[in-house]
Structure 1
Amino acid sequence: MHSSVIVGRIKPGSTEAVAGVFAGRDGEPSGTRNLLRRQLFEYKGIYIHLQDHTQENLTEVVEHGSDEAFTPFLDAYDPVAGTAPSGQVATRFYEWHGQPVSDEHRMYSTVIVARLNPADIGTVAKLFGDFDTGTELPHTMGTRRRQLFAYNGLYFHIQDFESDNGGELIERAKSDPRFVQIQQDLLPYISVLDPETWRSPSDAMASRFYTWQVTA
């Protein structure tokens, strides 16, 4: 299963409209192409379009959802990059798979948003590699897949869970010494997007406002 993350800016009050457009398209047999799952998130005006698909074909998948129907609601995150689909795709720099799941197409994601200097991508990937392979915490807290993406100084930390309570599972784990340690290790490299409102990891979590998954 391959994933892509499209990044943009969503205008205030537009989540229902964007979700409605996708709901209509995803309900059509030809509307989903090779998609297995689509999730839309919003975080402080940042639009995060997470897709899981059957093959690494970003051109086909990304262009679906970038036409004029979304113009009243979405803008490019970086005007310099323009509105071309290729300029909106985040780069995945880390992926880890945990324990097997009964149906990988029926998982739910949490998305943490922060800032990351591109020069530190390799260090952050190594820290998570050591954490995921060297501790049992990712398994015990229920993480089934972890992906890290970077885009224009932004950092997206995506965790997949089999249930729709991933945020609660993360919150429960935050006092575990291993969780505290990885947070401290990441501190020099990951910075919060909005320090004035950040109080705990949950404050950096994007809100999911739309989900579609392929039927069995």
Structure 2
Amino acid sequence: MVLLKCDLHVHTNASRDGESSVEAVLAAVAAAGLDAVAITDHDTTEGSIAALAAQNPGVLIIPGIEVSTKQGHLLVLGTTQVLAPKQDVLTTIAEAKALGAVTIVPHPFHRWRHGVGLRCKEALIAADAVEALNSRYIIGTANQKAAKMAKKYGRPATAGSDAHNCKFVGFGVTEIEAGERSVAAILDAIRAGRVSCTCKKTPLRTYTRQSWDNTVRKVRRRVPQFRHRPRRRIIHRKK
């Protein structure tokens, strides 16, 4: 067995709310002393494909995606295939497993971040693992509940930085006892529960700023008048 340090939840600028390039993320992975990283951009595998194509001696790239299901977010690791968003989460879990991928329910009880556990507890049982430690938190109660439910349902508990900026890669680390140094061995070890996890908090100032920026982006996408707000025309009438 080999012990591998992995960050299983990282975003690049292939995500709409990601702030760092693939190259910057991979440099941060090496600087953090990680053995492996899962690239999990929102509803796209472009970041994963780019990371796999890059030269990364000593770092294992786990291709992945964070799928926006009907009930919330789901991490799918071990594939470059894009799974359709807005499906029932149990359907997406089944599709991912048919591909040989590993499924992890991220931040399952975070109310403002599409936590699947708030809407479909069956997903916590159906998935391969539960993200018990996510570094983007304020007081940590959602993480505590995720860890409690992972134990209750007998699911492996993982960690992820959920980094949207390369500065925070490695803030959530899952230590994996793998049969060998390979992506396939890492996925098998997660399924078998040969994992332990640690986490440190993303600075609150950064987390709140990123959350606010993301909210503004969503409003601009959904409300056209905020994208191209016309100027008022003022007509001066003669007295």
Q: Same-fold call, TM > 0.5?
A: no
Task: Report which of the two has the higher share of strand.
Answer: 1
Report which structure shows greater RCO (CA 8 Å, sep ≥6): 1
Relative to the length of structure 2, the TM-score reads 0.29
Relative to the length of structure 1, the TM-score reads 0.31
